[in-house]
Structure 1
Amino acid sequence: MSSERARLTALYGGLLVLAGALLVGLVYLLVSEGLYASVLTAVAPAVPSGATDVAIRSGTAATPALPSSDWAQTTIMQPGQYAVARKVSTVAGDAALSQLLTVSGISLAVYSALSVALAWWMAGRVLRPVGVITARARRLSGSNLHERLALKAPPGELKELADTFDGMLDRIEELVAARQRFAANAAHELRTPLAVQRAAAEIGLADDPSPEKVAWIRDKLIDTATDSEQLIEGLLLLAVSDEGLRRRERVGLDATAATVTEALEPEAKNRSITVETEARPLSVEGDPVLLDHLVRNLVANALRHNHPGGTVRVRVGPGGLEVANTGPVVDPAAVPLLFEPFRRAQARRHAPGEGAGLGLSIVASIARAHGGEASATANPGGGLTVRVVLPTCP
């Protein structure tokens, strides 16, 4: 801060001193141009005619040519009288210019000192908001991210900078809070299958080590390991999508939707759910693997949170991708929260194939990575409609 203030002081002070020096020089030049003629005009009428002989006898006056100015043409003077007036005006002009130069030099020195002091004060006033921003930013940490600069200053660049910084803190606070919830939920989700595995291994075989019991525990451990594997894969996919795209190519979203729905058709039949597909040609630029995961998560989520005899509608067209399903009634106020990791419309029952609650968060992350947006609305009769809008290829 002090170095910036010193630079601004040198800049402001230098400009003010330079302007003062130019002003003094201009005044001196203008005054010296007409000073002698003005003094001569004022002094000549006051020179007595008797002074002419004295000047001539002393050798201090010659007989110069009369001036050709208007004043000389309208004023009758003896040659000796004019010589005396010219000598007096020269001496008086030199003295006046010397005095003017001395006074100007002193004034310029005082002006320079005042200019530097004023420049130092001005630089402090200009940089004061920057100091406030710096001091408050240094106090910020993970424990007080809720604090804001709230700079009280007139509208301007520094006020806009402070407001932008406050907006950035809002986004950072939301991100940190989301990451903290994510870490806590991930730890909880990972701890649950481990606890199930430990309980199955320690308690299940303690009283009844029969082959049937061993087979049951084996199946239980396999199911728990599968759930853990799916959870870890979901976390890795979420991390990859949050990092952005590593490659881009033209992808037919309609073809991807058709492939995914065909692959999930057996699961739909097992759940007695009808899948309706309406796909129009739609090409987007992005990562085909991530887009495949996006569509798969949407359709799988629509199948998982449904009821027997329900339907899933998959539509692809100029408006993007839309997946709607029937199922339990979803509270509209809870819909935006479903895009956060480990958020569910209903409490977890730890049933087989229930999922880890990462589906919609992965969808939203992949959509953001492609420059798009994912949104959802609760259907009046139950279920959810999820829309994903992505930039299309020309």
Structure 2
Amino acid sequence: MQLSKSVSSEKERKIGLGNIFKSKMATILIATVAIWILFTVLTGGNFLTTRNLSNLFRQMSITGILAIGMVFVIILGEIDLSVGSTLGLLGGIAAILNVWFGLSAIPTMVITLLLGIVIGAWNGYWIAFRNVPSFIVTLASMLVFRGILIGITGGNTVAPLTADFKTMGQAYLPTAFGYVLVVLAVAGSAYLILGNRKNKIKYNIEVKPMAFDVSIIAAIGILSLGLVLILNDYQGFPIPVFIMLVIALVLSFVGTKTIFGRRVYGIGGNRDAARLSGINVKKHILVVYSMVGLLAAVAGILLTARLNAGSVAAGQNAELDAIASCVIGGASLAGGTGSVVGALVGALVMASVDNGMSMMNTPTFWQYIVKGLILLIAVWLDISSKNKK
């Protein structure tokens, strides 16, 4: 027993606390803080008001949900250029069902979610079973779905929605509920982090110092409490943000703690080896794309509810924001690398840039230029780090 403890301590010392600050996630978080400070100065302090931060997180929820799905696609070593058009089409269909056909919120959402799975499976079928490159399949779908949206709406905005539907995108949870979420966040992170540490020690795998794990749990608690205090100071916890966090929690668990998640990483790391080891690669591709379609449906419902209308312009370029969020968050376009948490942090960066430049009344063309350069630099840094290794 004493020998085991000394070995564990020695491993902790070898890893060292200095490497903590060299991690990509730490760099991204520092960059996010820098962006917030910059926009706070440029907007005379208006960027960090509770009202704007609440709006920022609400805006982030759409990109965040898309990025959560996109990161699984990227881990597979594939791409999906159609999620923006899928969001727009499904949001438009939801508006048509609610406004033109008079369906209430629940049946409208159920139908829309099912259609999202079907659309995602359509993409997955051509990629997995017909061996058409994902770039071509999803590029074609991007055009097809946008065309269908324009056709079924006649190019018109479909509005207004019923009150029960609008609740999904515009309502807030009770303030007390936010504090319950803080407790759950701390308890859940402690269970996962300390459980993972215990398993590593059990199988003689190197672990970081205990102080590091404790600091991570404390940081999650502080950040969660800070987020809740900010949101409660305005009107409460927005429902879209809550939905995004629940999806992130579930799919983070799927990606890191299930056989399916490990196989997705294995396929992205070496597809031939995964196939030879008995993994049904085609099935996993189909499931992942179906999941992306489902998440695009969720995002489409939330965006339509928030805008109180189905618009033909909804979701334009959303796929680029989702891809950029994943890459900024550490996902590699070569496959095999990425995380849900990283995708959310990347989505926060993209939403912060959008929100800050909008507050400054920056011309639209400059917003496109800045976001394009962010994506380019993120990919370049990813490639450079791989070359160094």
What's the TM-score once normalised by structure 2's chain length?
A: 0.22
Name the one with the larger strand percent: 1
Name the one with the larger helix percent: 2
Rg larger for = 1
Greater RCO structure (CA 8 Å; 6+ sep): 2
